[in-house]
Amino acid sequence: MNSTQYVLEVDNLAVEFDTYGGVVQAVRDVSFKLRKGKTLAIVGESGCGKSVTVQSLMGLIPMPPGRITRGSARLGGDELLHIAPAALNAIRGKRIGMIFQDPMSALNPTMSIGAQIAETLVVHRGMTASAARTEVLELLHLTQIPEPEQRLNQYPFECSGGMLQRAMIAMSIACKPEVLIADEPTTALDVTIQAQILLLLKQLQQSHGLSIILITHDLGVVAHMAHDVAVMYAGQVVESAPVDDLFYRPAHPYTLGLRAALPGNDPQKQRLQIIPGSPPDLFAPPPACAFADRCPHTMRLCRSAAPATYTRPPPPASQASTNSAHEARCWLHHPQAPSSPVRSSAAT
Amino acid sequence: MLIEATHLQKFFTLNGGRRVHAVDDVSLGIAEHEVVGLVGESGSGKTTFGKTLIGLYDKSGGEVRYRGEVLPARYTAADFRQQASEIQIIFQDPYGSLNPRMTIFEIIAEGLRLRDHCSLASTRDKVVYWLERVGLSADHLSRYPHEFSGGQRQRVGIARALIVEPKLLVCDEPISALDVSVQAQVVQLLGELQESMGLSLLFIAHDLSMVRHVSDRMAVMYLGSLIELGPTEAVYFRPLHPYTQLLIASKPEPDPAHERQRQDPLIKGEIPSPIDLKPRCRFAGRCPKAEPRCFVERPVLREVQPARLVACHLL
């Protein structure tokens, strides 16, 4: 695989926070690659470090108390971490756009929608106020917001969540970014509005050639949107795979557990499978496998040594060269490990 | 029916006399040992219905009967005290609904103390029993809510509600603030308790697939109206009302092959404002099948197939 296929590469990122209770290791060794024009979903539960990961790419980690202790992130060839504020400002909002979970609190309540979007254009593209206004109207049309002319002069409190999310999308794509980071963009919205917003993101990806990082905890949204998926647990990526492999041949017991905890759609009502226990304390993360205490397949090794990341051979019928690798951070994929459900290649 | 609302209404009056039709003419009953799932989007009035049903809001119209007896339209403190050992509620936000200055022991024991006029110490055994029953332990007694995760707090909320052994439990979006794996834990716990205690449950949620998992009958609300009611499996797999059909079809499934076949969302626009509603079908403005009469006449909920009630002119 040649590296120009990737717009964004993150290697071995680690982020800590100083708190009164001690040091929280929120992100511990996260690596992923975002393919050009594709969507990478980062999935995980609250506190797994998915939001901190993308916030550190955007320079949004407050330092102190936060600290990026390790790792690198490159957009094209340009480093994003540990760079001067001026250099970061030239990238953030321009080459990487971001939309947040709660549009009501992410937008400035004292500025009209139009002025907030125009601000980006004036700062990054040096537009005059009147040129920016024309452009904003065009952007709002693009996001299919109802009555865009009227929205220009309205304030966030006058709009619904769905409309605000459209306005935020307009803002994030105003400078034609290479990468769009969407942090739980539909979590605060109803399913019918979610469907509309996801469709909009897909259309924009096509028309603008956007590469999207989608943070979500909803596996339905992942299946709908993603080309590649990274599953995070306790500050680490425990499995990364092309979307079909992740759903049909999950390789990490945590991924398997997440799938089973969802009520299925089959007419036969099945008992929900439960992942017992709760995620580990990131003040003192377990030295070995973070999932060992909740895993149905734990071996003695899992509690004594941190698992390496293993690459799974692609299924025989796939075109392996065009897909991303399927990797899992789990001892069960060691060549000498006993057989287990996560190693059988059968669809689950 | 254990509890039955007939033509229940709840309006809120705004400045200038405009009215919010939060719950507008909803009739819904819950039988003994039955679980009714109530679904709808934000602003549909499902939470307001639950709270009005059990007296947390004064009723604007209609009535509620509990075991045949009419409940007061406006509750006094004495009414609540009398009702508390029969009807309980668990709330959506496990962070906001526990007093941060009380220990878990005090929180769970409070209902018993008030009902039996007994000392805190005398309730200890029962509180420990309930802590264990919801999957916590006696070690947690002297801790405070901030020391617990969302799922654990929701378990505390369940123990607090069930320690007085009510007959009816209203669950107001009990899992929507929780992570997927924890949602399954809480739903399973509620299901087990419902069965072993013979509880009746009103399970309010916006996640249809979870509601399908726990409920016997499913009720769908839209903009203050009950628009569909029927056996859960029938409503989920063969929805009749155009809104229910679109609602169920809008939810993405955790299955990439299925999602690639998905058609673009048919539902346009957003849920309109519930202020000063006109007498017409509440869904007419977004309905792909709407006819002229949908805009001038409000459909009533009626039986269109055995046990299946729908409010739609087209059926």
Q: Which residue of A has its CA nearest to B206?
A: A190
Strands B217-222 and B35-39: parallel
Angle between helices B124-133 and B104-116 (to 10 degrees): 120
- Residue B126: burial class (beta carbons within 10 Å; 0-12, 13-18, 19+): middle
The answer to whether residue A103 sits within a structural domain is no
Number of neighbouring beta carbons within 10 Å of residue A147: 10
Q: How far apart, in Å, are the Cα atoms of A70 and each of A86, B54, B200?
A: 22, 55, 54
**Inter-chain residue contact B184 with A247, CB threshold 8 Å:** no
The answer to whether residue A109 sits within a structural domain is no
Q: Report pLDDT digits (tens) over B256-272.
A: 998 888 877 767 778 88
**B291: which strand partners?**
none
Q: Report pLDDT digits (tens) over B172-193.
A: 988 887 777 788 888 888 999 9
**Inter-chain residue contact B184 with A274, CB threshold 8 Å:** yes
Per-residue pLDDT, A347: 42
Q: Which residue of A has its CA nearest to B234?
A: A267
Q: Which residue of B has its CA nearest to A46?
A: B179
Choosing among B44, B92, B178, B181, which should be mutated to test the A contact, i.e. which has the most A CBs within 10 A?
B181
DSSP assignment of A275-310 equals --S-PPPTTS--SS-TTGGG-TT--HHHHHSPPPEE
Q: Which residue of B has its CA nearest to A229?
A: B256
- Residue A203: burial class (beta carbons within 10 Å; 0-12, 13-18, 19+): middle
Choosing among A265, A268, A295, which should be mutated to test the B contact, i.e. which has the most B CBs within 10 A?
A265
Q: How far apart, in Å, are the Cα atoms of A107 and each of A57, A61, A140, A169, B186?
A: 20, 18, 15, 11, 34
Q: Which residue, among A282, A281, A236, has the nearest Cα to A25 in the 3D structure?
A: A282
A77-106 in b/e burial notation, b at 16+ Cβ within 10 A? eeebbeeeeeeeeebbbbbbbbbbbebeeb
**Inter-chain residue contact B267 with A196, CB threshold 8 Å:** yes
Sign, CA dihedral B286-B287-B288-B294, equals negative
Q: Would you call the peptide bond into A64 cis, given omega within 30 degrees of 0 as the criterion?
A: yes
Per-residue pLDDT, B231: 96
H helix or E strand, kind and range, residue B144: none
Q: Report pLDDT digits (tens) over B57-71.
A: 999 999 999 999 999
Reported ipTM: the value is: 0.80
The answer to whether residue A5 sits within a structural domain is yes
- Residue A130: burial class (beta carbons within 10 Å; 0-12, 13-18, 19+): exposed
The answer to whether residue A324 sits within a structural domain is yes
Q: Report pLDDT digits (tens) over B207-245.
A: 888 888 889 999 999 999 999 999 999 999 999 999 999
| B chain contacts of residue A275, beta-carbon cutoff 8 Å | 181, 184
Q: Which of B187, B250, B258 sits opposite A272 (nearest CB)?
A: B187
First to last CA, chain B: 27
Q: Which of A192, A219, A267 sits opposite B265 (nearest CB)?
A: A192
Over the Cα atoms of chain B, what is R_g? 20
| A chain contacts of residue B209, beta-carbon cutoff 8 Å | 262-265
Q: How far apart, in Å, are the Cα atoms of A103 and each of A163, A180, A192, A194?
A: 9, 16, 17, 13
Q: Which of B150, B180, B253 sits opposite A261 (nearest CB)?
A: B180
Sign, CA dihedral A171-A173-A177-A178, equals positive
Per-residue pLDDT, B206: 85
Q: How far apart, in Å, are the Cα atoms of B115 and each of B85, B111, B130, B162?
A: 8, 6, 17, 13
Structure-token match 């690659």, residue found: A33
**Inter-chain residue contact B267 with A192, CB threshold 8 Å:** yes
The answer to whether residue A136 sits within a structural domain is no
Q: What are the pLDDT tens digits along chain A (348 aa)?
A: 455 689 999 999 999 999 888 899 999 999 999 999 999 999 988 888 999 999 999 988 888 899 999 999 999 888 999 888 888 888 988 899 999 888 888 899 999 999 999 998 998 888 898 899 999 999 998 888 888 888 899 999 888 888 898 899 999 999 889 999 999 898 878 888 888 889 999 999 999 899 999 999 889 999 999 999 999 999 999 999 999 999 999 999 999 988 888 876 666 666 777 788 888 888 888 889 999 989 999 999 999 999 999 998 877 765 555 678 899 999 998 888 888 777 764 444
**Alpha-carbon gap, residue A174 to A185, rounded angstroms:** 17
Contacts of A102 (CB under 8 A, 6+ apart): A188
| A chain contacts of residue B251, beta-carbon cutoff 8 Å | 191, 220
Q: How far apart, in Å, are the Cα atoms of A232 and each of A42, B227, B294?
A: 7, 40, 48
Choosing among A191, A219, A221, A255, which should be mutated to test the B contact, i.e. which has the most B CBs within 10 A?
A191
The answer to whether residue A53 sits within a structural domain is yes
The answer to whether residue A145 sits within a structural domain is no
Q: Which of B150, B206, B262 sits opposite A224 (nearest CB)?
A: B262
- Residue A284: burial class (beta carbons within 10 Å; 0-12, 13-18, 19+): exposed
Question: Can you give the residue range of the structural domain that contains A288?
Answer: 1-95+177-348
Torsions phi, psi for A209 (to 5 deg): 60, 35
Q: Which of A199, A244, A262 sits opposite B180 (nearest CB)?
A: A262
**Inter-chain residue contact B256 with A262, CB threshold 8 Å:** no
**A236: which strand partners?**
A233
Residue B134 pLDDT more than 60? yes
Choosing among A203, A231, A262, which should be mutated to test the B contact, i.e. which has the most B CBs within 10 A?
A262
Per-residue pLDDT, A318: 58
Q: How far apart, in Å, are the Cα atoms of A164 and each of A129, A167, B196, B199, B286?
A: 22, 5, 46, 41, 20
Q: Per the structure, how many domains does chain A have?
A: 1
- Count H helices, E strands: chain A? 12, 12
Q: What is the DSSP letter of B281?
A: -
Average pLDDT, rounded, for chain B: 90
The answer to whether residue A115 sits within a structural domain is no
**Inter-chain residue contact A263 with B180, CB threshold 8 Å:** no
**Alpha-carbon gap, residue A18 to A14, rounded angstroms:** 14
Indicate the range of A3-12, A25-34, B5-14, B19-28 predicted with least confidence: A3-12
Q: What is the mean pLDDT of residues B281-295?
A: 91
H helix or E strand, kind and range, residue B126: helix B124-133
Per-residue pLDDT, A346: 44
- Residue A344: burial class (beta carbons within 10 Å; 0-12, 13-18, 19+): exposed
Q: What is the CATH number of the domain that holds A220?
A: 3.40.50.300
Angle between helices B242-250 and A191-208 (to 10 degrees): 50
Enter the tokens of residue A83.
Answer: 């760079």
Q: Would you call the peptide bond into A65 cis, given omega within 30 degrees of 0 as the criterion?
A: yes
Choosing among A104, A224, A248, A254, which should be mutated to test the B contact, i.e. which has the most B CBs within 10 A?
A224
**Alpha-carbon gap, residue B1 to B68, rounded angstroms:** 8
**Alpha-carbon gap, residue B298 to B25, rounded angstroms:** 11
Using an 8 Å CB-CB cutoff, list residues of chain A that contact chain B. Answer: 45-46, 146, 160, 162-163, 190-196, 198-199, 217-224, 226, 243-244, 247-248, 257-259, 261-265, 267, 269, 271-275, 278
Instruction: Give the three-class secondary structure for B244.
Output: helix
Residue B77 pLDDT more than 60? yes
